[in-house]
Amino acid sequence: MASEQSLFQDLVVLLDKTIEDLIPEEVQPDSDLKDDLGIDSLARLEVVAAIEERWGIKIPDEDADELHTVRQTVRYIDQAASTST
């Protein structure tokens, strides 16, 4: 699986494509998806769908609700992608 840094960079690109008005250079690993990046519930659904499509994983709603930061999301993707192969 890709390194955490590589996943972070890929996720920032995905967020930039999915979230209007996002400034990619301001996204940090500890950025809060809602408070820092302004991802509301509708945008969260779009982000989750984009992640699922990009990495070929399924994120149950209860897991998505627990992903508060970019770092948590990267680690979730890493773990889910490595177990789905």
Secondary structure letter of residue 39 according to DSSP = -
Instruction: Please give the Cα distance from 3 to 59 (Å, whole number).
Output: 20
Q: Which residues are catalytic?
A: 40
Question: Which helix (H) or strand (E) covers residue 80, if one does?
Answer: helix 70-83
Q: What are phi and psi of 26, to 5 degrees?
A: -90, -10
Would you tell me how many other CB atoms lie within 10 Å of the CB of residue 33?
21
